[in-house]
Structure 1
Amino acid sequence: MTNPVSHTQSIKLPKVLFGINALVAWCGVLLSFTLYASGYYPPDTSNPTLLGNNPAGIDGLVGRLLDWITYFTILSNLIVAIVLTLLFLRPGRDSKIMRVLRLDTLLMIIITGVIYNLLLGPGVSHEGWDFFSNGLQHVITPILTVLVWLIVGPRRWINLKVIALSLIIPILWAAFALVRGAVIGAYPYSFLDVATKGLTSVLAFIGVIMVAAIILALVLMGIDAAISSLSRRAKRS
């Protein structure tokens, strides 16, 4: 006989964790948006081929917000916030697009955390509100998103077709960043800076990241299968 208390707790746990994950992600996204919109970051003219050289005040508002949404960090955190909110509102929600987006939350936020903390972040100091914004988006949300997935899934959502479809958003983002960069002459990251790196080098880097994303997705699929198997054994015992 099923224990009704245990059953209720098993239903509530995913909702609670999805809600916490969504709230933290939204805090990072909204704080970052506020800082960019308000002109918190002064114009950066040190590297004219990178984003950030917009006029202060209202004159640079549109440019600052377009720069903001061009960063992969923002896109990955925004997808985490939206998808985890949907899962919080309906933990049992399941569809092909939700499976793809759920995998995107993991792939994109892990890539965000790894690339920033290994390549972009070392040696960069953050002060004031930027310290909290950076920590939320590059450290706390990535770690929390992975932990929540490990604990409550959803399970058995990852397969080869889902993996293939999950690459669409990152590829579209890369195309957008490169096209916009070619138009305005500035790119979101140094490794995408075609003006200094050259198109061949940039495309090669993107290719390496895509291969790494596929490998990561396969690893996540294996972990998911292992957790599902252990869960089934625990229920039978």
Structure 2
Amino acid sequence: MRAVFVVVRILGAAAIICAVAGQLATSLRYWASAGVADPSVQLANFFSFFTIDSNLLAMLALAAGAAFLIGGRRTDSRWFAVFRLSVTSYMTVTLLVYNVLLRSIELPQGATLAWSNEILHVAAPLLVIFDWLCAPGRRRLPWTAIWSVIAFPLAWSIYTMIRGPLTHDVIAGTDHWYPYPFLNPELGSGGYLTVALYIVAIALLIGGVAAAAVWVSRRGRWPLPATRAAR
């Protein structure tokens, strides 16, 4: 079992790196063809997507998890268990939000690379969920760990809403840039109120997914008993 998950985690981390690098290379070519001489703003935009951020965090979690298994660690440390919990929650929400709200929309990171898109939004999230459910060493977590999970998405939302109106989008020719349409207050009649409702809804979704993942950790099954490290 441990050897299997070493391989699964290494392959998963490698797939994510290839997907991010492939999309970045595609975007760089797209920006160059659009006449962008200095792509520094576009690069910052690229790494401001929650999908990219959550996948890079997932890559780190998978790589570290593989290293811990190779090193003989029997149980996740507390910090790594919370990190895995956070990554699992973010990737699950990435899977849900993209496939429910965004699949038919061309996102503004440049021409989309199809195979990379499927890895980042479908394959990698499913792998991370599988890893949480089945990998050995999962630690029994307290319910308070959910607050740690919510912290990053809230910080990302604040960063996005501050940066959005200050960023000139050369490609679209607008004086603002938002990574996803539902975060753009200029779309629709609700303005910032509608955006705030979306942010609250996604925060609740992330918290709900985190609660479900904590519940799984406390059940002590799937398929190996969890270590009773927290009440």
* Shorter-chain TM-score tier: 0.7 to 0.9
Percent identity, aligned pairs only, is: 23
Gaps of at least 5 residues in structure 1 are 1-9, 44-54
Q: Do the aligned partners of residues 154 and 29 (structure 1) sit closer, same or farther apart at CA in structure 2, a change above 3 Å counting?
A: farther
For the residues of structure 1 that align with 2:48 and 2:105, how far apart are their CA atoms? 23
Show the counterpart of 1:50: none
Quote the Cα distance in structure 2 between the aligned partners of 1:232 and 1:68. 40
Aligned to 2:204: 211
TM-score, normalised to structure 2, is 0.80
Are 2:147 and 1:164 aligned?
Answer: yes
Aligned-pair Cα RMSD in Å: 2.6
Q: 1:183 to 1:153 in 2, by over 3 A?
A: farther
Q: Displaced runs of 4+ in structure 1, greater than 6 A? A: none
**Kept after mapping to 2: 8 A contact 1:39/1:56:** no
- The residue type paired with residue 114 of structure 2 is F
2:10 matched to which residue of 1? 19
- With normalisation by structure 1, the TM-score equals 0.78
- What SS class does the counterpart of residue 195 from structure 1 fall into? coil
Deviation at 1:149, TM superposition (A): 2.0
Alignment-derived partner of residue 79 in structure 1 = 57
Q: Aligned partner of 1:147: which letter?
A: F
Which stretches in structure 2 are left out of the alignment for 5+ residues?
Answer: 168-175, 227-231
Give, in whole Å, the separation in 2 of the partners of 1:42 and 1:159: 49
Question: Offset at 1:154?
Answer: 3.8
Which residue number corresponds to residue 170 of structure 2? Answer: none
Letter paired with 1:121: R
8 Å Cα contact 1:79/1:105 also seen in 2: yes
Q: Which has the higher helix share?
A: 1
Structure number with larger C-alpha Rg: 1
User: C-alpha distance in 1, partners of 2:193/2:95?
Assistant: 25
Question: Is 1:139 matched up with 2:130?
Answer: no
Distance in 2, Cα, partners of 1:232 & 1:85:
23
Matched-pair contact (CA < 8 Å) for 1:103–1:158: no
- 5 Å-filtered alignment, 1:71-150, equals 71-91=49-69, 92=73, 94-122=76-104, 130-150=113-133
2: CA distance between counterparts of 1:182 and 1:16? Answer: 44
2 CA distance for matches of 1:224 and 1:187? 35
Q: Distance in 1 between matches of 2:125 and 2:223?
A: 25
Partner of 1:56: 35
- Residue pair 2:134, 2:224 contacting (<8 A) in 1 also: no
Residue in 1 aligned with 2:21? 30
Shift of 1:167: 1.1
Instruction: Return the letter of the residue paired with 2:205.
Output: A
1:153 to 1:146, Cα distance in 2 relative to 1, 3 A:
farther
| Cα displacement string for residues 64-115 of structure 1 (whole angstroms, at most 9, x for unaligned residues) | 2111011111011110011111111222374333222211211111111111
* Deviation of 1:137 (Å): 0.7
CA–CA distance in 2 between the matches of 1:129 and 1:194?
Answer: 24
User: How many residue pairs end up in the alignment?
Assistant: 209
CA contact (8 A) 1:193 1:202 kept: yes
